[in-house]
Structure 1
Amino acid sequence: MIARWQKILLLILALAEAAWLAWQWPQSPVRALLGALVPLALFWLVMAVEFVLMHHLNRRDGARRARTGQVVRAWWAEVWVALVVFCWRQPFRHKAVADWLPAQATGRRGVVLVHGFMCNRGLWLPWHGPLRAQGHAHVAVNLEPVMGSIDDYAAIIEDAVLRVTAATGMAPVLLCHSMGGLAARAWLRAHAADARVHRILTLGTPHGGTWLGRFSRAVNGRQMSLAGDWVKTLLNAEPQGRAQRFVCWYSNCDNIVFPASTAMLAGADNRFLDGPAHVEMALQPEVMAACLAEIGRD
């Protein structure tokens, strides 16, 4: 569903750009080119506002605050990473690489990949090769409805866990980005599934909600409001010791989940990242290497 929406949006934008250029080029090529750059400039501006808000609100957070230079670097990196993910991989390449469930067990633990808000399995494209090379069977889910309740995603994760477990004979690791970590916790609550998962790795998950959640009109967006009712209810329903199954990476340059410490989970193995932005975090080589090491660890 999200792929279709993104394709339609890109088509509308492309037609508008073509119409603008056809209209303005005969009169002024310079004006035509400058006008064509307006959508990209607006995207840069919106992203810059996110980073300014993040850096401002992190000033009183317990996590180490980023330097201004780090924030600028993270903004620039996130602009281009987001364009690749949201304008190419998710709308056009999300089916390019299939899940891998080998007929013969490899002796390695399997992985369920769970994306975040307004994303699809296309986010994980760079992960398929390394996972397969190391012998990890894997399934990348699509969480739908796109703007539905996080609780509704439990059945999708349950199906993926069953498929990976059947292929490997072992409880899988769940690798989750952003909202995906909350969906994994909702799955644990709905299915009392602690014994059926080996470890849960979260990247930039708003375990305590996020300041930006207050602006969302989507059901799942509102559920991620900072210290909101849904995240509090989820935490209160969890048995003692469950958080010990989690490894949670959080960043002081996360432009979506802030203040930074909201991506920490009490009782989990919380690991600080110095500098990466929100989507960049899921694709940064150093983070990928750390996650792959955790997936392979008994």
Structure 2
Amino acid sequence: MPIKRKSRVAVLVPGIFDRGKSMLQMRSALESAGFTAHCINLKANSGWHGMEHLALQLRDRVEEVTVARETCALVGFSMGGIVARYYLQRLGGAERVHKFIALSSPHFGSFWAHFLPYKGGRQLRIGSEFLSSLNRDTSVLESAAPVSIWTPYDATILPQSSSRLPLGKTYQIPVSLHRWVPQNRAVIEIVVAELAEVLKDDP
């Protein structure tokens, strides 16, 4: 079987109620660095139908923007990081992705999700079976060289420590507001550098 090639394609997955506007600066920076960046516009991005529904859309988008035997990078902001994880861990996405970066994603849930009375909200709550299941086999993420970026001032992901994956690299960046994380210059620089680093040894 031919060895897979790491492409310069990056798929950006926005957070709840976000059509991708929050990640436009990151997309521009990635494109300036020679990447082809795509912002996915998730349908029902409130999470109403659950993370599975959104992850299927992500799977289809990855298939659209990559070619056979090539892998891509995924950058997920907030809920988008959990959508990406479901795709990677439950839908075979680990075979198509060589780099995964999560920005302020509630890997262990958030207090505020308890006020979202629908499937996606229940899945993002602290102690939910959905997140517990994903966290029982995080080893699946190892092939995607995972990175988590978080801010200690996050008032949306509570506790803030929930944004730290239990494996891979972790960066703490002091961003004042949750919604500013994907637009923060230091965060964008880390994302660009991490995506470039993983390509260095690719033929």
Q: Which range, TM-score by smaller chain?
A: 0.7 to 0.9
The reply on whether 1:214 has 2:107 as its aligned counterpart is: no
Higher mean C-alpha deviation, range 267-276 or range 250-259: 267-276
> Aligned in 2, Cα 1:189/1:283: closer, same or farther, shift over 3 Å?
same
The reply on whether 1:132 has 2:16 as its aligned counterpart is: no
**Cα distance in 1 between the residues matched to 2:52 and 2:197:** 29
- Equivalent residue pairs, number: 190
Larger gyration radius, structure 1 or structure 2: 1
The structure whose residues are more often helix, as a share, is: 1
- Residue of structure 2 equivalent to 1:111: 10
Within the candidate set 98, 113, 129, 1:198 is matched to 98
Q: Which one scores higher on RCO, CA 8 angstroms, separation ≥ 6? A: 2
CA contact (8 A) 1:177 1:203 kept: yes
**Cα distance in 1 between the residues matched to 2:162 and 2:175:** 16
What is the letter of the counterpart of residue 110 of structure 1? V
CA drift of 1:264 comes to: 1.0
> Aligned in 2, Cα 1:288/1:187: closer, same or farther, shift over 3 Å?
same
- Residue of structure 2 equivalent to 1:248: 148
CA drift of 1:294 comes to: 0.8
What is the letter of the counterpart of residue 23 of structure 2? W
- Residue of structure 2 equivalent to 1:171: 71
Structure 1 unaligned blocks of 5 or more: 1-106
Q: Considering only aligned residues, what root-mean-square deviation do their CA atoms show, in Å? A: 2.0
CA contact (8 A) 1:243 1:266 kept: no
Question: What does the per-residue CA deviation read over 1:110-157, in whole Å, with 9 as the maximum and x for residues that have no partner?
Answer: 100001111112222222322222221122111222322011112211
CA contact (8 A) 2:175 2:184 kept: no
TM-score by length of 2: 0.85
CA contact (8 A) 2:114 2:122 kept: yes
Q: How does 1:8-19 map to 2 (within 5 A)?
A: none
Report % sequence identity: 24
What is the letter of the counterpart of residue 249 of structure 1? I
- Residue of structure 2 equivalent to 1:228: 128
What is the letter of the counterpart of residue 128 of structure 2? G
The reply on whether 1:157 has 2:58 as its aligned counterpart is: yes
TM-score by length of 1: 0.59
What is the letter of the counterpart of residue 58 of structure 2? I
